[in-house]
Amino acid sequence: MRQDEIWDVEAAGRYDTPGTGMFSPDVLGPTVDRLAELAGDGKALEFAIGTGRVAVPLAERGVSVTGVELSTPMIDQLRTKADEATIPVIVGDMATAVALGEYTLVYLVYNTISNLLSQAEQVACFRNAARHLTPGGRFVIELWVPELRKLPPGSPAMVWHSEPGYIGLDTYDVLRQHVVSHHFTFDESRQARLTRSPHRYIWPAELDLMAQLAGFELESRHADWAGAEFTPDSRSHVSVYRLPPRP
């Protein structure tokens, strides 16, 4: 499964859920607040900008935002909310695409770095972020913590979420650090809808090493955008990496 095949016209049309889920104010509010603080008076670059879930409210806060996105249907959906002059978007892969100018902030939200399916691509993504940043600039990643401790003994699969009308199930390939997320949606009928997405999971320590290879230092790590303490039981983290400032 290629990413441009996963994020097709149908997926782009289903992605936006205004006011709920990822788009709820209690999720978006702290995210945008923190990113606006980190961008300061500079410009921000979002890798895998998607339909502009974060970029649109961040731009409305007065931050100049540019995006990189592989999926043209996702960009088309973004264009229903903001034009090219407001939020420019470069069509390309976040590990290699180049945006003009320099930025004080590059960010990747909601586990998107795991869409790169090899360690080499993920390291290249860090290096690409570094190329776009001014000295002292920051690269922010929001990422889930692999939940291998919850795998039943001898089983490669785990249900990670269940609610009326939805079941989320992950299957793990621990040798390659690959996981496929299976999303089952259903109603009262006998039929269910399945969508799947592949990922390469990354441990926080491995992520820190990738950062070092690209010249970054870990500045902070929290369990969420509001700054909760990151603990061994945290299910995700927001990690802020910084390039050394000019001497």
Is position 51 within any domain? yes
What pLDDT does residue 8 have?
65
Of 53, 106, 110, nearest in space to 82 by CA: 53
How would you write the pLDDT of the chain (247 residues) with one tens digit per residue? 555 566 666 766 676 677 777 778 888 999 999 999 999 999 999 999 999 999 999 999 999 999 999 999 999 999 999 999 999 999 999 999 999 999 999 999 999 999 999 999 999 999 999 999 999 999 999 999 998 888 888 889 999 889 999 999 999 999 999 999 999 999 999 899 898 889 999 999 999 999 999 999 999 999 999 999 999 999 999 999 999 997 7
Q: What is the residue type of 33? A: D
CA distances from 15 to 11, 18, 122, 167, 208 (A): 6, 10, 24, 17, 30
Domain that holds residue 115: 3-146+202-242
Q: What is the CATH number of the domain that holds 220?
A: 3.40.50.150
Does residue 78 share a domain with residue 165? no
Question: Locate tokens 């970054």: which residue?
Answer: 216
What pLDDT does residue 3 have?
59
Does residue 51 share a domain with residue 168? no
Does residue 164 share a domain with residue 122? no
Is position 247 within any domain? no
What pLDDT does residue 23 have?
76
Cβ–Cβ under 8 Å, residues 148 and 140:
no
